[in-house]
Amino acid sequence: MNTTQNRAVIIAYVDAFNRGDIDGVCRLFSADAEIFGVLGRGGLDKAIPIWAQLVRCFKINLRVEAMVAEGDTVAVRFLERGTSSSPFRGIPPTGKSYEVTAMEWFVLRDGKIAQRWGARDSAAIFGQMGVPLP
């Protein structure tokens, strides 16, 4: 695939994530995808419950601020916003919102996301929502 097509896959990922459509997000990944993030690493089996919990608890919204694509790789810088609206891992909701810069790096293969790395400042997120750090 060319970089334009790879970028379109990542835009579809952002759109599905913002709608809370975890099944739609998963359809964009290869069956053997490797996913690395703040809360763990593994395949879709590990990521799905984490993503579902994050969407449910924080109503996360991603806005693409910058995207670079070269070959099979796409890197994205997001403005990520969310609100503590549901209990998260035993922590009651605060109703407070957060806003941070988040970055994700993707490697695509045959039109699917084969690898994804995510990085965001969890300490800033918890601080803005008034949640004590674990």
CB within 8 A of 10, min separation 6: which ones? 67, 74, 76, 106, 113
The pLDDT of residue 131 is 83
5-37: burial string, b at 16+ Cβ within 10 Å, e else: ebbebbeebbebbeebebeebbebbbeebbbeb
The pLDDT of residue 116 is 98
Domains of the chain: 3-128 (3.10.450.50)
Q: Where are the alpha helices (DSSP H) in the chain?
A: 3-19, 22-27, 44-58, 122-128
The pLDDT of residue 106 is 98
On the CB side of 45, how many CA atoms lie within 13 Å of its CA?
2
From first to last of the 134 residues of the chain, give the pLDDT tens digit: 799 999 999 999 999 999 999 999 999 999 999 999 877 789 999 999 999 999 999 999 999 999 999 999 999 999 999 999 999 888 899 999 999 999 999 999 999 999 999 999 989 999 999 987 76
The pLDDT of residue 134 is 63
The pLDDT of residue 124 is 94
